[in-house]
Structure 1
């Protein structure tokens, strides 16, 4: 099908201008001020903003965690993502402990996703055991289009020690890749949990107290010292607070290549949510925890200054019944929040509309930067001739309120319940297919696996 999007305003990372966009056979074939094509179906997008398809570089679908499985699998999760303008997600495939290979983990995630996705997808690979066989598999992963990896400095089933952290980062650097790292000090967190239990503190209000900002900042510092010794680039995922951010800036001043990601929950929610009555604080349990207003302000300024490269979601959803697994002990609450459906509209409403960031910066954070970081650019992340026709038509005049009663997640709760949205996703094109129309899914299960090249990000 050939479509001609007329009279809209195209947003790029550099500028915003009124242009027509002609798409055919999954690609953008022409962009100009006044395009005419008698063979194309004309779509009037007067007054609308045209963004490249959003890319979410941090999701967890169909993930076994805390004795349960995330409420959203690849089918429901990517459906919600597409409705929110996200045309590609990069989920986390994982190696299992006990001598299992990276290839086994990747094969398992392909089985989880194949034929179920509404948007395009790829994977990072989580490395949880390091040995000679795993080291040899890194290049095999790269050959299959997996060019980014994940490491954990916490969680017993996932954690790698400092020795292996150094070895893995060094190997990835030699291969021209990098790892995103979950930074928290596991030992001190365990000690603080022990103290809470001994004092009879078992409610969700204790969650941020046992995972303080200092222990995130310490882990970020330790990671960056090790990364410098390994002479390797690194990504700090889901950065939450000022202290950790300052560690990133200090390392960059010291000549290191360090990327940073944050999430909507850290930009818009405060740690007082954990004290909500009737166990409602459990809805917000995630790691690292939601922080304070001063940390929000720091992160918004960092986005404006270009010091944080991307806003992802860390999508990891659970029902209230699943959250209740920790009713008697907050450490047993499955950690994670849904977010893929509202990331773009929240960032526009509370970032662009309030003047904290510009439309162009929003495009950089949600589209161009993740495309470059994760080896997708210029196929994705930009509206230009030859790129995939992934286009989000955003209506800045639309108004709605976020509610668990109307969202597309497979959950009965939403951490942004009651948040007003001053925009809406009107249409979404996925590789030239009209996949969302008038805010409703037009076509399902269009998504394909997209192999990736190495990062092409150079700090633009």
Structure 2
């Protein structure tokens, strides 16, 4: 690995989650070491001119699936390709998912994913999924939190007969997470309802991609979100709902937060700007490319998600980056339920959210920083190491050119995928230069990602909250 130079970023408008200010920023040893006006450049320093640009914290994508084995195949973007693509779009860190198969020990799956992630060009961390339950899972959760820097556990309420967590698993895992100071996260879709609707649609001869959104209507997501939130409320643990795609799930979050419950919501860049018309494309390959879960929705749901971000009821933006090519999607040619679920986006998220959010007036620049990095860093306990331009923070930085335009396309993306859900969309606002761990990794359209240069991010547990209300009431009897 090449030696790190000192880097002095001159004349930037620094944008943090709380304020903007003009300053020079000096980076050394992979950290931000000084912020101020007219800083002197030490020896062995490269200067970067950021006048007329914004200096942002590196983006954090809290939801990716690199190299994921799923539905009989493996996502084509491995940890190198996926994190390199992220760097090209200003995302310097990801939180990926360790997903054990049923009966696979959590620690065994964790070490397998760690091996794959050694290829990462950007920084990475993990959520670990709980897909089954016994005392060994209880034990492994403790080891992951105390020895490996994991503070979040994922629960799939969908995918019956595969990795679906039933209510018993949710209750046991949520209780253990509370004990450990970890955050439960959930994929909120009622897996039983999805399965039954899939069978009914197939029996009616609806076998193409158009059947996918029909089998996963908004009510299916809303029910699961309500149920997961209710379980978390009884147990007294905070909860994070991934890829909120519809009004039904958003309303469940709003009701709980209005009542004082600690519930956090995530929106995907794709769900914010892409609607469900792609499933009607007569070309199977193009229609199948949109198959992900939850599916893309009618436009009214996009409007609601933006309102959720504006009001603070949704907190992060992510991508669920999980790329399958046309040949892999063809496994579901005669049965939409067999189409591997997944789309890309780690490379485009920052630009899409800036263009559709900041340029439209929906978001301020500081709000953009909150939902692309700072909130994620705070929710998952790595702030201000990540998510801030501050002395002592990691030198993961983006010099953002608000005037630079780019037309998004599979032909020009760095991802290995052969489709782009944002195909043909022209965005205004794009990274001019990206720093990861104090090193320039993207500049003037050139990607200089280095295989294996990414660092694993350990995340300390949270201080457990006070006992849940039911426990206090029981003790008073």
- Check whether TM > 0.5: yes
What are the within-5 Å matches in structure 2 for residues 254-403 of structure 1? 254-279=259-284, 280-403=286-409
Match of 2:180 among 175, 179, 189: 175
SS at match of 1:56: strand
Alignment RMSD: 1.4
**Cα displacement (A) at 1:281:** 1.2
Query: Structure 1 runs of 4+ off > 3 angstroms?
Result: 455-458
| Alignment partners' CA distance in 1, 2:406 and 2:143 | 46
Q: What's the counterpart of residue 134 of structure 1?
A: 137
Per the alignment, in what secondary structure is the counterpart of residue 403 of structure 2? coil
Contact persistence 2:178–2:464 (CA under 8 A): no
Note the C-alpha offset of 1:183.
0.7
TM-aligned CA deviation for residue 456 of structure 1: 8.7
1:225 aligns with 2:230: yes
In structure 1, C-alpha distance between the alignment counterparts of 2:46 and 2:201, rounded to whole Å: 63
Correspondences of 1:34-53 after superposition (within 5 Å):
34-39=38-43, 40-53=45-58
Residue in structure 1 matching 2:20, options 11, 16, 22: 16
Tell me the secondary structure at the aligned position of residue 456 of structure 2: coil
CA distance in 1 between counterparts of 2:464 and 2:95 reads 17
Q: State how far apart, in whole Å, the 2-side matches of 1:232 and 1:46 are.
A: 45
| Distance (whole Å) between structure 2 residues aligned to residue 176 and residue 256 of structure 1 | 16
Q: Distance in 2 between matches of 1:189 and 1:163?
A: 19
Q: TM-score, normalised by structure 1?
A: 0.97
Whether 2:452 is the aligned partner of 1:452: answer no
* Structure 1 pair 76–189 and aligned structure 2 pair: CA distance change class (3 A): same
Determine the structure 1 residue equivalent to 2:468: none
Answer yes or no: is the 8 Å Cα contact 1:21–1:31 preserved in 2. Answer: yes
SS at match of 1:397: strand
- Give the equivalent residue in structure 2 for 1:425: 431
Q: Distance in 1 between matches of 2:404 and 2:258?
A: 42
Alpha-carbon distance, 1:258 to partner? 0.6
State the match for 2:122 in structure 1.
119
Structure 2 length normalisation: TM-score?
0.93
Tell me what 2:470 maps to: none
Unaligned runs of at least 5 residues, structure 2: 466-477
Displacement after TM superposition at 1:439 (Å): 2.3
Distance 1:398 1:23 in 2: 25
Pairwise CA distance, 1:457: 13
SS at match of 1:150: strand
Distance in structure 1 (CA, Å) of the matches to 2:46 and 2:100? 46
Contact 1:373 1:457 survives alignment (8 Å): no
Where 1:396 maps in the other structure, the secondary structure is strand
Query: Does structure 2 retain, via aligned residues, the 8 Å contact 1:145–1:451?
Result: yes
SS of corresponding position for 1:159: coil
The answer to whether the 8 Å contact 1:373/1:456 transfers is: no
Deviations 1:108-162 (A, max 9, x none): 0011111x11101111101111111111121200121011110011112211111
Separation in 2 of the partners of 1:320 and 1:443? Answer: 26
Cα offset for 1:455?
A: 4.9
Per-residue CA deviation, residues 32-58 of structure 1 (Å, 9 max, x unaligned), is 122122423221111111110111111
SS in 2 for 1:347: helix
